[in-house]
Chains A and B, each alone.
Chain A
Amino acid sequence: MRGLGRGFWIALGVLAAGVILVAGLGGFAPAHRDPVPLASLGPGDVHTNDELSVRILSAEITVDPDLYLEEGEQAVLVQLEVTTHWREPLEASGTLGRSLEFADLPEDGPDSVTRTDGGAAGFLQPELRAPLTLRWDVPAGSIEPGSDLHVTIRDGRLRQLEILGDDWTWVDHRPAAELDVPLADRTGLAEEEDE
């Protein structure tokens, strides 16, 4: 052991002191993440985080002929208002896909995201409120009309994409709020026509 020299023992001592310090400060304790209690919202309530404000207005299940649905399909429509507070425009459908979670609906996001007042959703622009409609085409009967649509809103964290660049992105979205939106039943339309 003598052959290792004094430098080795100094380095080992410094390392040991560092380890003791980190352990003393709780650095080796298992990461402690209490699930944060989710804020409970109602339809029409606004949830705001650093990335955006979301206000879910209403949901419906419909067979409206204007939607050109396939045979045996129904459309779930969710109307909401979104405002981004980030300084760059955010692509609407990708952003909503990360921030909103809809129970019982396909996880890979809505089939379309359009502006409620007409036109493509495009980008969410800084501090500009965008009224949007999300649409899913689902097999008839897979969702009970009149039931509640459970929505979870997730908060993201801003992260620099490249340490030396100036590209920023919102990542690490975690549930922060939840609400139940009654699914208005507009499936009667087709049956009336059939009879």
Chain B
Amino acid sequence: MRTSATWAAAIGFAVLACVVTAVTPVSNLAYSTNATRMPFDLPMTLGETTTGRTFTAEPTAVRAASSIEAEDGPVEGTFLIVDLVLDGTGVEPSTRLGGIKLELGERTYYPASRIRRTLVDESLRAGLPVAGSIVFELPPDDFRGRARVVLANRLDIRFDDRLVLDVDLDSLEPRPSVVVEPAGWAE
């Protein structure tokens, strides 16, 4: 091969590599940090138990409220409340839901810290189901569209599953005042 042809081929391959890297989504790049996370999502349905690797979850109700009755008076805000029954699977002696979030459009919300004694703090052990709620606070103007409630045992998931519930916020009518029962042993 002639020298000029070698140069042309080398430069051509380099350009081609740049193009491929540029058009590949970041999460699909083999050497991207995201490639080592890649959670797989298990869809949840209301009233049915979905089993993940470390815990199971049964969403029993999805509610909206503009005020929550707490122990020391009402807490005002625009809230999405997901009532759940959770249980450990026994894969790990004890699991906590350290990776609960709500995805709405491109925004992410963590459970509201203002509401206490929710499922956020519960330890899950196999055979000891826990019932309670998870509460998210959203800006009043953004309480619409489709949201995804994601349950996982940690935020930084590496090749593990997440349980996902699709919520249509438009179908929920916010009630002026609701009670969120403290998390505790399920019946």
Measured CB to CB, the residues of A under 8 A from B are 87-89, 115, 117-123, 125-128, 162, 164-167
In the complex, A118 Cα to B107 Cα: how many Å?
25
In the complex, A180 Cα to B109 Cα: how many Å?
33
Contact of A123 among B27, B75, B110 (CB under 8 A): B110
Listed from nearest, the 8 A-B pairs whose CB atoms lie closest are A122-B113, A165-B33, A164-B32, A126-B107, A119-B114, A127-B139, A87-B107, A120-B113
For B110, list chain A residues within 8 Å (CB): 89, 122-123, 125
Q: Contacts A119-B116, A120-B113, A123-B113 given; indicate if A165 touches B106 (C-beta within 8 A).
A: no
Query: Are A89 and B108 interface neighbours, CB within 8 A?
Result: yes
B29 at the interface (CB under 8 A from A): yes
| CB-CB nearest in chain B for A123 | B110
Contact of B106 among A87, A115, A121, A125 (CB under 8 A): A87
Query: Are B113 and A166 interface neighbours, CB within 8 A?
Result: no
B142 at the interface (CB under 8 A from A): yes
B137 at the interface (CB under 8 A from A): yes
For B113, list chain A residues within 8 Å (CB): 115, 119-123
Query: Are A118 and B114 interface neighbours, CB within 8 A?
Result: yes
Query: Are A128 and B139 interface neighbours, CB within 8 A?
Result: yes
Between A88, A119, A123, A125, the greatest number of chain B beta carbons within 10 A of the residue's beta carbon is seen for: A125
Q: Contacts A122-B110, A127-B142, A128-B138 given; indicate if A167 touches B33 (C-beta within 8 A).
A: yes
| CB-CB nearest in chain A for B138 | A128
Query: Are A87 and B108 interface neighbours, CB within 8 A?
Result: yes
Q: Mind listing 26 A-B residue pairs with CB under 8 Å?
A: A87-B107, A88-B108, A89-B108, A89-B109, A115-B113, A115-B114, A117-B114, A119-B113, A119-B114, A120-B113, A122-B110, A122-B114, A123-B110, A125-B110, A125-B112, A126-B108, A126-B139, A127-B142, A128-B137, A162-B33, A164-B26, A164-B32, A164-B34, A165-B32, A165-B33, A166-B27
Minimum Cβ distance to chain A for residue B164 (Å): 18
Chain B, 21-59, CB within 8 A of any chain A CB: 26-27, 29, 31-34
| CB-CB nearest in chain A for B104 | A126
For A115, list chain B residues within 8 Å (CB): 113-114
